A and B are shown apart, each in its own frame.
Chain A
Amino acid sequence: MAIGVEKMYESPTPTVVEFIGRAGNYFWEFENFGLTFPGYYALYMTAYMNRFGATEEDFCKVAVKNHYYGSINPKAQFYGLRITVDQCLKSRYVAWPIKLYDSSPITDGAAAVILASEDLARKITDTPVWIRSVGVATGTANLSKRPDFIGLDAAYQAAEQAFKRIGIEHKDTWKYFDVADVHDCFTIAEVMAYEDLGFVERGMGIQLVRNEQTYKGGLIPVNLDGGLKAKGHPIGATGTSMAVEMTKQLRQGVEPRDRQADIYTGWALAHNVGGTGHYAYVTIYSLDKNGSPRVKPKR
């Protein structure tokens, strides 16, 4: 059994900001310039907005989607709480252009999965979910050493490895997966994930948001559990909770059905990031033990 647990909700916010901030590049970015985690992602959001003409309103739509799904997930921190674009736009800045409602909250949480060999898995369940591929890569600790600020190279490289192992190209990958969970610690992180994972090309992630193509029924449903944004981000439990969600989705056991993705190919993807892209994992799950994913039917 793999268990992820975190308890941080009752800690005072300035203390949490201090300790998470110190998890970046300590000397050159925190000690001297007081960079916070929202600040790190804000540097990406500013660059992305400038490069691709995205707006704060566009990013708020990610928050609205994830809150919608969180509101119908009884295990979510914000169960029962929906938000509007307007509420998001009016929320206070944490690290301009990132606002409170662009940010995942401080959360308590836990998740567990049973990892088993093929023999044992067949004994304990009729519907095992296979871990078909894992990609992992690291990025620079120092943000200024990265060549650009419109995507996370570690996530891109992790995806590249993961896709290679199951024999698919790192391009238009939305068509192979029924559902995905991505590391939306901030709304910009979700949009960059769409692109790092090759669902769409660089710069097109924001179009997926505008056209509501990452809701259930869209090109690729993302974070139907509410994501880090609304399910909550208990740091040590977040990765395991994605494994739980992808397993439930593929086995079509999600309640209520409004957040159960339609399962066509039987493949799902989880994307998890540590630090600010210091490292990233892409894990691919399938109901099939062998073979490559088929393409989703046109609808």
Chain B
Amino acid sequence: MVMSLEAKYEEFWRQSIKQLNEVVKATGLPIAPDEKGQYSLWYDVREMRLRFSISVERIKRFFDGLREGKVYATKCRRCGRYYFPPQADCPYCRASDMDWVEVGGEGELLTYTVINTKPLTYSHYPDYVVAIARMREGFNVLAWLRVDDPKRVRVGMRVRLQVVRREPEGYLTYEFVPVEQ
């Protein structure tokens, strides 16, 4: 699955670069109209491929949890505050004295949206529902909500957090699913 998406991107880039090379060959310049067909754009001939790398060293437990099918928050041992997304430090206590606690699971939907106009790197997904729920412990979680029909989503509905494999990339993440009433 991972390969198929990468292959798709590769093909897209290969085609774009091929077209650009043809334009350079024909006109002597890497200049072509923009997508609206209104303006001339110089298409950079110096390609830069960039994927960020982000240190997760101090919250590695969270990702180990996903592999066990669990979603973890951190809880300060001194003041009892929960942190989600998990953080290794409590700014209130200025301490790094944390327990890793499994998120209870159920929550109440506070708000949601359906992303129709997607970022370039999300363009291969169907429209997705992003929601925020207040979990039983009192903190909020933001994640995709898995539903067949977004019209059935309601503020206040009960949702559960679960670990899923995000396809086609194939990595572990978490999402909400409605709790059957």
Do chains A and B interact in one complex? Answer: yes
Q: Which one, B3-11, B22-30, B92-100, B137-145, is touching chain A?
A: B137-145
Chain A interface, >50% SS class: helix
B116 touches A43 (CB 8 A): no
Nearest-CB distance from A153 to chain B (Å)? 14
Query: Are the CB atoms of B119 and A21 closer together than 8 Å?
Result: yes
Within the complex, what minimum Cβ distance (angstroms) separates A88 from chain B? 16
Q: How far is the CB of B29 from chain A (nearest CB, A)?
A: 17
Neighbour of B132 across the interface among A32, A98, A144, CB < 8 A: A144
Does A18 contact B116, Cβ atoms closer than 8 Å? no
Say if the beta carbon of B150 comes within 8 Å of chain A: yes
Chain B residue at minimum C-beta to C-beta distance from A44: B111
Chain B interface SS verdict (over half):
mixed
Whether B142 lies near A95 (C-beta < 8 A) is: no
The contact of A149 among B110, B115, B121, B143, by CB within 8 Å, is B110
Q: Which of A13-46 contact B (CB under 8 A)?
A: 13-15, 17-18, 21-22, 26-36, 38-39, 42-46
Quick one: CB contact mask for B117-156 with A, threshold 8 Å, 1 for yes? Answer: 1111111010010101000000111111000001000011
Given known contacts A26-B52, A95-B116, what 7 new A-B pairs fall within 8 Å (CB)? Answer: A14-B120, A34-B115, A34-B125, A39-B113, A47-B155, A93-B114, A144-B139
Interfacial residues, chain A to chain B (CB-CB below 8 A): 10, 12-15, 17-18, 21-22, 26-36, 38-39, 42-47, 50, 92-98, 142-146, 148-149
Q: List 13 A-B contacts (CB under 8 A).
A: A14-B118, A33-B130, A34-B115, A34-B119, A34-B128, A35-B130, A43-B130, A43-B132, A44-B111, A47-B155, A93-B114, A96-B114, A145-B140
Query: Could you tell me which B residues sit within 8 Å of A by CB distance?
Result: 34-35, 38-39, 41, 52, 54, 84-85, 110-123, 125, 128, 130, 132, 139-144, 150, 155-156, 173
